[in-house]
């Protein structure tokens, strides 16, 4: 069994209209929510072997906050340029290409891709994974290469404003 946690980047800033989308940083709420969500993921017992993130500023910053908050070695975090603006097919391919030695992976990305990937893997209807939302699923596949539609079982969905 493999465990996959899909994390949408934390809330980002729209302060500068001239700023390129790729370079948008987290806003104050995003900086606040990311460590809270990292702690929630830890409290759920998740100990990742690997974290893979879009290199867009808001996604990689969210991933770095998770690494720091969870006390993980920085070398567990890898960037994958293909996650930025990836559609469902690209995200499925990225999951299928994860290293087999990694049993639990956190994947940091963007909508609509994160929401679509959850629907594809779990069949669970979550209209819109909110910023800094985290979806944990257990994959019935013994190998990342075997991951396909309906292979995931939703374990939980947490998000910053979810009541305790």
Q: What digits encode the pLDDT tens for the residues 18-42? A: 678 899 999 999 999 999 999 999 9
Q: Write the DSSP symbol of residue 137.
A: E
The count of C-alpha atoms lying within 13 angstroms of the C-alpha of 66, restricted to the half-sphere facing its C-beta, is 37
- Backbone torsion region of residue 26, taken as left when φ is above 0, otherwise alpha when ψ lies between -120 and 50, otherwise beta: beta
**Tokens 């030695």, residue?**
101
Burial 59-76 (b: 16+ CB within 10 A, else e): bbbbbbbbbebbebeeeb
Q: Does 128 have pLDDT greater than 80?
A: yes
Q: Say if CB 18 and CB 44 are below 8 A apart.
A: no
Model confidence at 124: pLDDT above 90: no
Residue 22 neighbours by CB distance under 10 Å: 13
Question: Which domains does the chain carry?
Answer: 2-11+22-158 (3.40.50.1240)
Q: State the DSSP code for 103.
A: S
In this prediction the pTM is 0.96
58 is in an annotated binding site: yes
Residue 120 above 80 pLDDT? yes
């Amino acid at each position: 069994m493999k465990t996959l946690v899909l994390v949408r980047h934390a809330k980002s800033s729209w302060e500068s209209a001239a700023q390129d989308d790729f370079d948008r940083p987290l806003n104050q709420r995003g900086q606040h929510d990311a460590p809270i969500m990292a702690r929630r993921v830890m409290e759920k017992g998740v100990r990742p072997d690997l974290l893979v993130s879009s290199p867009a500023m808001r996604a990689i910053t969210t991933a770095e906050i998770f690494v720091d908050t969870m006390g993980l070695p920085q070398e567990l975090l890898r960037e994958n340029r293909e996650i930025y603006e990836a559609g469902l097919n690209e995200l499925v391919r990225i999951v299928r290409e994860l290293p087999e030695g990694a049993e639990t992976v956190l994947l940091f990305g963007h909508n609509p891709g994160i929401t679509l990937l959850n629907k594809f893997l779990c069949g669970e209807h979550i209209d819109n994974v909110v910023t800094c939302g985290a979806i944990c699923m257990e994959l019935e596949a013994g190998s990342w290469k075997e991951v396909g539609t309906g292979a995931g079982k939703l374990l939980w969905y947490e998000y910053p404003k979810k009541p305790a």
